Amino acid sequence: MMLRTASPTLQPIRDKVEAGERLTMEDGLLLEQPTVPLPELGELANIVRERKNGNAAYYNINTHLNPTNVCVYRCVFCAFRSDLRDPKGYVMSDEQILERGAEATKNGCTEMHIVGGLHHQKNYDWYVNLIRMLHEAYPQLHLKAWTPVEIDWFCRLAKKSVREVLEDMIDAGLGSLPGGGAEIFHPEIRNQICEHKADSRCWFEVHRTAHELGLRSNCTMLYGHIEKPYHRIDHLIRLRELQDETGGLQTFIPLAFHPENTGLAHIPKASSLVDLRVMAISRLMLDNIPHIKAYWIMLGIGTAQIALSYGADDIDGTVRHELIYHDAGATTPEVLSDVAIRRLITEAGRDPIERDTLYRQIERDETGWQATEAITANA
């Protein structure tokens, strides 16, 4: 795709993108200006996307597990959390958790994404045993679990260091860390939307330590609330710096704020055009993170399809039992079949590739599935 006219203001950035050079904070702020034509932004992001991942669009067969929604914190953007005595509050029993593992295995899932609330009355062992129980019963299922906010809570419960908690979790069967809890790192915003929970220093300590212990992790950014362009670019640059240091981040997922049932319900949800801008700018700034995910649950299917030409090369998975976005007003389906997800990728002009959590290609036959060769994005 080659545009006939390029805006003169973007030419220096286009030159850098074409040469594979890193963009600066100033470049990022320029790209954030609403006058930058969206198609041109998309075209630049697509150069990087195709350089790294060709025409592939990755997905997995996955499911979610939120063992409890009862949470000591009251993040203003969260519609999922509940108080202990609220009728909405729940805690899953061991039997219910194991049933989810059985269901996931029956459905051919390769991954279970586990996050939840910080329950006042659940001790550290409950969280560790949950991982151990699932891993022992379903060893093939990759457990992508706990954000730094939870790990920080476990450190307090157990009076252990981040490293010790992660070692316990790895011993129990933890496979990787999801990207949540990042929100916006800059304290000007973080102190307003989630002042009590783990700060950015803690978020980075957990991911850095996880990488040192050999785990891979994802990362996210919650946008479209009270943050400004500067806070978004600052957030992306902080992630890029961690990746320079450890190389352990696999995928970045921009997450659009969903206002319904939250303390920020007066803020309108970002439009699809804003979603595509954030996707494209993320791809351009995060030159060292191999994958960018268009999380269809959050974006809607149509926008996720377009996002595959605006920087994204991954669409997350079939998903089942998602609560965080559906509690906050998402109208996307609860689950997509493997056939449907492949079709939506093909319709977008990309080649669907089923991957596992660690980006190994999956092969299936009548006896089950196995991970084959590792997929490596180009630098």
Q: 162 or 177, CB closer to ligand V47?
A: 177
Shortest distance (Å) from residue 79 CB to ligand V47: 5
In angstroms, the CA 277 to CA 299 distance is 13
Cβ closer to ligand V47: 30 or 276?
276
Q: Strands 142-145, 249-256: parallel, antiparallel or unpaired by DSSP?
A: unpaired
Pair of tokens at residue 312: 């994204």
Tell the smallest beta-carbon distance from residue 218 to ligand V47 (Å): 3
Euclidean distance between CA atoms 188 and 165, whole angstroms: 29
In the bound complex, what is the minimum distance in angstroms from residue 181's beta carbon to ligand V47? 5
Closest approach of Cβ 102 to ligand V47, in Å? 23
- What is the amino acid identity at position 301? I
Closest separation between CB of residue 260 and ligand V47, Å? 8
Measured from the CB atom, the residue of 220 and 282 that comes closer to ligand V47 is: 220
Measured torsion, CA atoms of residues 280, 286, 288, 291, in degrees rounded to the nearest 10: -50
Nearer to ligand V47, 10 or 336 (CB): 336
Residue 64 has what DSSP assignment?
Answer: E
Is the Cβ–Cβ distance between 317 and 110 less than 8 Å?
A: no
Least distance to ligand V47, CB of residue 74, Å: 12
**How near is the Cβ of 319 to ligand V47 at its closest, in Å?**
8
Residues near ligand V47 (CB under 6 A): 77-79, 147, 178-181, 183, 218, 220, 222, 253, 255, 257-258, 262, 295, 316, 324, 328
Q: Which residue has the closest beta carbon to ligand V47?
A: 180
- Yes or no: say if 290 and 251 are a contact pair by the CB < 8 Å rule: yes
Which residues have a Cβ under 8 Å from the Cβ of 224 and sit 6 or more positions away?
A: 256, 257, 267, 269, 270, 274, 278
Nearer to ligand V47, 209 or 217 (CB): 217
Task: Quote the DSSP letter at residue 22.
Answer: P
Q: How far apart are alpha carbons 174 and 203 in whole angstroms?
A: 18
Between residues 27 and 144, which has the closer beta carbon with respect to ligand V47? 144
Toward ligand V47, which CB reaches closer, 292 or 371? 292
Partners of residue 368 on adjacent β-strands: 365
